[in-house]
Amino acid sequence: MSHFDLTGRKALVTGGAQNLGAAIAKALTQAGAAVVLGDVNAEAGEATAAKFRAAGAQASFVHLDVTDEASWDAAMPQVVSDLGGLDILVNNAGIEITSLLIDLDPVQLRKMLDVNIVGTSLGIKNAFKAMQPGGAAGQGGAVVNISSVAALIVFPALSGYSGSKSAVDRITRIAATESGALGYGVRVNCIYPGLIGNPMGMKLATDVVDIGLFPDAETAVGSVVGLTPLGHLGEQADMANAVVFLASDAAGFITGTGLAVDGGMGS
């Protein structure tokens, strides 16, 4: 059950094969939406879609590398045809590489910028093309981008990641103005998730230990919790619920903004 109704809505979730993307897709289905999971990990994506179908949802997988325009060109017709339209895009695919500036590897940095900035931008481009009047879906809709609390705070070893997620914040706002000015009928918002106790979040905790910033992962996580007014880490479901809200008609007059889902850490 969901607090918000997405019955009949059609959603694409990038990076939807596992972890946060899969949790978002699950929450969308629980609110009544049909979903396509777009990801480079076909094995996990097919398995997650099958799990959602077994639970009674309409769900499928499409191979999608968000950094690659040709991959979007190949995936979008399948997405629109599988769903019979497109109302919601969640730009969730993202990677995190932890590094002090003094150790920066430009190859790794460019890879992260490619997924987090170029991938998100291509997602918005393709959503606008499909959802605008006369597009393959043509009914307008909602885009929700996944930024990070790293766009709101400063933390050592996160310069590249924070920069990429700050870019997602700015791109969100500009996309909303373009949609408004040119009549695409698409609301564009983002969320800023706090640290989650999932594989990406826990890898970050061990990375900052390896770099020498904390004695152990428990202390690293404890320092984040200590900066969080609500006093604990967020769950994937907390982030997913916020995405469902922003995608729903309950957020019908909300565009060009970001919602911190971080227990107050970034305030």
Ligand X SMILES: NC(=O)c1ccc[n+]([C@@H]2O[C@H](COP(=O)([O-])OP(=O)(O)OC[C@H]3O[C@@H](n4cnc5c(N)ncnc54)[C@H](O)[C@@H]3O)[C@@H](O)[C@H]2O)c1
- Chain positions contacting ligand X, by CB under 6 A: 14-15, 17-21, 39-41, 64-67, 92-96, 115, 119, 146, 148, 193, 195-196, 198-201
- The percent of the chain in helix, strand and coil, each rounded to the nearest 5, is 50, 15, 35
Of the candidates 71, 75, 69, the one whose C-alpha atom is nearest the C-alpha of residue 36 is 75
- Cβ distance 233 to 195 under 8 Å? yes
Bridge-partner residues for 239, per DSSP?
Answer: none
- For ligand X, the closer of residues 95 and 100 by Cβ is 95
Q: Which residue is nearest to ligand X (CB)?
A: 94
- For ligand X, the closer of residues 67 and 98 by Cβ is 67
CB of 67 to ligand X, least distance (A): 5
CB of 201 to ligand X, least distance (A): 3
- For ligand X, the closer of residues 62 and 137 by Cβ is 62
Whole-angstrom distance, CA of residue 23 vs CA of residue 29: 10
Q: What is the DSSP string of 108-157?
A: HHHHHHIIIIIIHHHHHHHHHHHHSTTSSS-S-EEEEEE--GGGTS--TT
Active site residue 184: no
CB of 168 to ligand X, least distance (A): 8
Tell me which H or E stretch contains 192: strand 186-193
The single residue of 4, 128, 161, 184 carrying the catalytic annotation is: 161
Q: Give the distance from CA 207 to its chain's centroid.
A: 22
CB of 133 to ligand X, least distance (A): 28
- For ligand X, the closer of residues 64 and 247 by Cβ is 64
Catalytic machinery residues: 161
